[in-house]
Amino acid sequence: MEKIKWTTNQLPKSKDRNLEIMSLENVKHARAFHQSFPQYSVTPLAQLNNMASYLGVNGIYVKDESYRFGLNAFKVLGGSFAMGRYIAQQLGKDISEMTYDYLTSKQLRDEFGQATFFTATDGNHGRGVTWAASKLGQKSVVHMPKGTCKPRFDNIAKEGAKVTIENVNYDECVRLAAEDAAATPHGVIVQDTAWEGYEEIPAWIMQGYGTMALEAVEQLKAAGVKRPTHVFVQAGVGSLAGAVQGFIANMYPDNPPTTVIMEAQAANCLYQSAVAADGQARAVGGDLQTIMAGLACGEANTISWDILKNHSSIFVSCPDWVATKGMRMLAAPFKGDSQVVSGESGAVGMGLLATLMQDENYKDLRDAIGLNKDSIILLFSTEGDTDPESYKKIVWGNTESC
């Protein structure tokens, strides 16, 4: 069995200019935008009291994004808000004017026309972009990497997008989407990663993800928790991780929780960058084979990397078995705890937490994180069973995946 790898954050700090992207004010604007959608509702925060008692911690809370907009994943928060910000910018309007009613109106079509939004995806981001484009009367084109599962392809195609599966990995699909957008009249790339010269739209996507983190903090307070002691968040390119980390740093500036950044071992570019400890982002190439398809990204978002290296506590590289363990535990909870249907990329936090509390081989990591009987942990289950057949195989005991 492959071992979990980890490192503490010994990275040199930057001027932290990107932390402002995830300011409380910016996140509140994003949440107000999402609240204008008729499909909006606050997703559940599962309180696993019996699981916490079993593992020897004070509290475990899991934000369940399988309920988000009926799309089974959180990603739509980023793509939709970025579209709203882009259209507002093109029209010289404020984002507060970009309500769902306006964005779906004849007035918007007359003033803005129709754009084609390009993106690359392992599944959830592309589905969110195409759903938003469809609802707002825009067009979308999606490139998916080799090895993509048919259910994820079909979920995107049914929203009316032009979808292709390319014979390259995710990072090459991103480059292809950028090239196609540049060659298309009124073409726009809406990508949840950033690179030099492409940072504005990724920053808007991250702000959109902030809606989820803001909801979670408010739900914790309603449950009597002033602040979590620990936040576990998974990373592909790092957009979600940077968004959550940035929001948490702004929310609790005087006493920030310990943040644990988790990656799939086959695509652990942030972990590799943290190990190098010189502040520069490293890339991981190849096919990036992992069941955690949503985390199969080998090149870091430059904005997120800047936030993470300034504020995150621990970087962890997780083999696939960590995710399968988490999926099974969340699917079969203790009596009295809520079930969470969590997909491969959503359950890695639960699997890691359980392993750290149960396996003495990882006592050093448990101690480095500071997990104990007083710990209150916030996890994000970022997707449900986006590939139902794979989910069943894993949860029912067969770890083979597409």
Q: Which residues are catalytic?
A: 75, 122
Whether the Cβ atoms of residue 369 and residue 353 lie closer than 8 Å to each other: no
First-to-last C-alpha distance (Å) of the chain? 20
Tokens of 130: 């195409």
The helix or strand, by DSSP H or E, that contains position 117, with its residue range, turns out to be strand 116-120
Give the tokens for residue 236. 């592909």
Instruction: Give Cα separations from 236 to 28, 193, 263, 271, 345 (angstroms).
Output: 25, 9, 7, 11, 9
Q: How far is it, in rounded angstroms, from Cα 289 to Cα 305?
A: 23
DSSP 8-state assignment for residue 192: S
Compute and round to an integer the Cα radius of gyration of the chain. Answer: 20
What is the rounded distance in angstroms from the CA atom of residue 309 to the CA atom of residue 304? Answer: 9
Q: Is 65 helix (H, G, I), strand (E, B) or coil?
A: helix
Q: How far apart are CA 334 and CA 397, in angstroms?
A: 19
